[in-house]
Amino acid sequence: MDLKPMLKPESVAIIGASRDQDKVGHVILQNYINAGYSGRLYAVNKAADEIMGIKAYPSVLKIRDRIDLAVIAIPAQFVPEAMEECGRAKVKSVIVVSGGFAEIGNKDLQDRLVGIAEKYSMPTLGPNCLGVMDPRSRVDTLFLPTYKLSRPQVGGVSFVCQSGAVGSTVLDLISGEGFGLSKFISYGNAAHIDEVDILNYLMEDDETKVIILYVEGIKRGREFIEVAKRITRKKPVVVLKAGRTVAGQAAAHSHTAALAGNYEAHEAIFRQYGFTIAEDLSDLLNFAKILDSEPFPKGNSIGVVTNGGGAGVLVADAIGMSESLVLGGFSNKNTEFLRKSMPPLVNIRNPLDLAGDADGARYDEALQVMGSDDNIDMVLAIILFQTPGTDSKTAAKAISFKEKMSKPMIVLSVGSEYTEMHKIMMESAGLPVYSSPSAAVRSLAELLKYANYRNKK
């Protein structure tokens, strides 16, 4: 299905727009206004002539314009009538954010929506969903106000999510991370448009570099396998599959009417076709940001530089427990260089512990070695901002070095307000920062795994 009219519409009608600030339709209309949407915006409400300065119409049939997208936010029992009017008005696409369909057992009502969508060849997202957000086109159908849910900056990660609650939570977290959003698509009950349609669209979308997918059930297994075969050859997909247990499958069915299916079967498909598998929401973010920002490594050896010996040990343990990663050794030339340039208390080995008084200059020399040494394929810089010599100059050195390096480089930094300030500084410059040794090492391992998959003949 062509989802462009939904994500890049030149005209939008909000069916259920309202003056009542507690109504979903009010929030959606307000979000379009706040986002600075530059297309033509119409309010549809039978009981109003004007809402928030925008002329209101009793029906889309009364709008003398071509409508690319209609967003329906009215009680479930009235949705079929609104859908029928959209079809007659030749609306190009529809998003039904309203709930009250198959997820509560009202399958007949949902089937009526599908029948109308197919009758008019009208791509329909939902029902029971948040809809879409595209920061570039300033489309925002989320019925969650901006003061409660921060909107991410523009970027290359597209997020496909069956659950509105999970979607809103991850979006809020993304807005605090260093990578940006290309598109967000919440598809709810997947009555008409499902994950196969969305992945097919994003596979060809030049604005999407990485896809993250939260899915509770896959409706069309054969078609999903076909798109899976092709999509990861073009761009990475990080997937979190819910409904792994009997209890989780039952919860998924009552949530989005999804048939979760056997998790082992889904996992086998994901692994066979190069999906990056997340175990939880943290993995979704951690894996997405490294795949979005870092080049493919040439090998599996990691160079670690740290200003805290204990943190270096924890990272060495994490690497040692990894099935694919190893600590690299320095070349003789670089070993000799480090012996001459580092203070006597620095032991020249990997992890390279620069000691607690390390400053930006010492990090700079260490990172030069990591970047130039052919025995090192990836760099993990541990920067603990609690020590006296580590400050904004150190963060700036790391950013400057990252901009020059062709190898993957990430930072591990753990702490409170002062650390968080520098984390934002580094991630805003495109340098991924992680908050635990295991998260950092696992993310490097997933980057290597995907690189190996892409490099297979």
pLDDT exceeds 90 at position 150 = no
Query: How confident is the model over 227-244, as a mean pLDDT?
Result: 93
pLDDT higher for 366 or 260? 366
Number of domains in the chain: 3
- 331 domain-assigned: yes
pLDDT higher for 278 or 219? 278
- Which of 366, 353, 361 has the alpha carbon at shortest distance from 313? 353
Which pLDDT belongs to residue 1?
85
What distance in Å separates the CA atoms of residue 354 and residue 398, rounded to the nearest whole number? Answer: 14
Asked if 373 and 358 sit in the same domain, the reply is yes
Asked if 250 and 263 sit in the same domain, the reply is yes
- Which of 230, 312, 244, 316 has the alpha carbon at shortest distance from 275? 230
- 276 domain-assigned: yes
Query: How confident is the model over 132-137, as a mean pLDDT?
Result: 97
Which pLDDT belongs to residue 258?
46
- 133 domain-assigned: no
Asked if 300 and 444 sit in the same domain, the reply is yes
Asked if 350 and 448 sit in the same domain, the reply is yes
Dihedral of CA atoms 225, 290, 135, 69 in degrees, nearest 10, equals 10
Q: How confident is the model at residue 168 (pLDDT cuts 50, 70, 90)?
A: very high
pLDDT exceeds 50 at position 391 = yes
Of 275, 293, 311, at which residue does a domain stop?
293
Question: CATH number of the domain that 176 lies in?
Answer: 3.40.50.261
Residue range 396-442, pLDDT digits in tens:
999 999 998 999 999 999 999 999 999 999 999 999 999 999 999 99
pLDDT exceeds 80 at position 236 = yes
Of 253, 270, 293, at which residue does a domain stop?
293
Alpha helices in 158-220 (DSSP H): 164-174, 195-203
Asked if 259 and 369 sit in the same domain, the reply is no
Residue range 68-100, pLDDT digits in tens:
999 999 999 999 999 999 999 999 999 999 999
Residue range 174-186, pLDDT digits in tens:
988 878 999 999 9
Which pLDDT belongs to residue 269?
93
Which pLDDT belongs to residue 429?
92
pLDDT exceeds 50 at position 56 = yes
Which pLDDT belongs to residue 245?
55
Report residue 25 CA to chain centroid gap: 26
- β-partners of residue 277 are 239
Query: How confident is the model over 311-339, as a mean pLDDT?
Result: 96
Which pLDDT belongs to residue 229?
95
DSSP secondary structure, 51-104, as one string: ETTEEEES-GGG--S--SEEEE-S-GGGHHHHHHHHHHTT-SEEEE----SGGG
- 4 domain-assigned: yes
Asked if 284 and 312 sit in the same domain, the reply is no
Asked if 31 and 91 sit in the same domain, the reply is yes
Asked if 270 and 319 sit in the same domain, the reply is no
Of 95, 127, 159, at which residue does a domain stop?
127
Tokens, residue 359: 């400053």
Q: How confident is the model at residue 263 (pLDDT cuts 50, 70, 90)?
A: confident
Q: Which domain holds residue 311?
A: 295-455
Query: How confident is the model over 259-284, as a mean pLDDT?
Result: 88
Query: How confident is the model over 45-62, as a mean pLDDT?
Result: 96
Q: How confident is the model at residue 248 (pLDDT cuts 50, 70, 90)?
A: very low
Chain mean pLDDT for the chain: 93
Query: How confident is the model over 299-310, as a mean pLDDT?
Result: 97
Which pLDDT belongs to residue 131?
96
- 132 domain-assigned: no
pLDDT exceeds 60 at position 250 = no
Asked if 299 and 288 sit in the same domain, the reply is no
Asked if 241 and 214 sit in the same domain, the reply is yes
What distance in Å separates the CA atoms of residue 3 and residue 314, rounded to the nearest whole number? Answer: 46
- 140 domain-assigned: no
Dihedral of CA atoms 231, 235, 238, 239 in degrees, nearest 10, equals -10
Which pLDDT belongs to residue 402?
93
Asked if 262 and 169 sit in the same domain, the reply is yes
Residues sharing a CB contact under 8 Å with residue 358, sequence separation 6 or more, in sequence order = 307, 387, 389, 390, 394
Which pLDDT belongs to residue 261?
61
- CA atoms within 13 Å, Cβ hemisphere of 207: 17
- 138 domain-assigned: no
Which pLDDT belongs to residue 252?
47
Question: CATH number of the domain that 98 lies in?
Answer: 3.40.50.720
Asked if 279 and 355 sit in the same domain, the reply is no
Q: How confident is the model at residue 259 (pLDDT cuts 50, 70, 90)?
A: very low
Pick the range with the lowest mean pLDDT from 55-64, 192-201, 236-245, 342-351. 236-245
- 144 domain-assigned: no
Q: How confident is the model at residue 219 (pLDDT cuts 50, 70, 90)?
A: confident
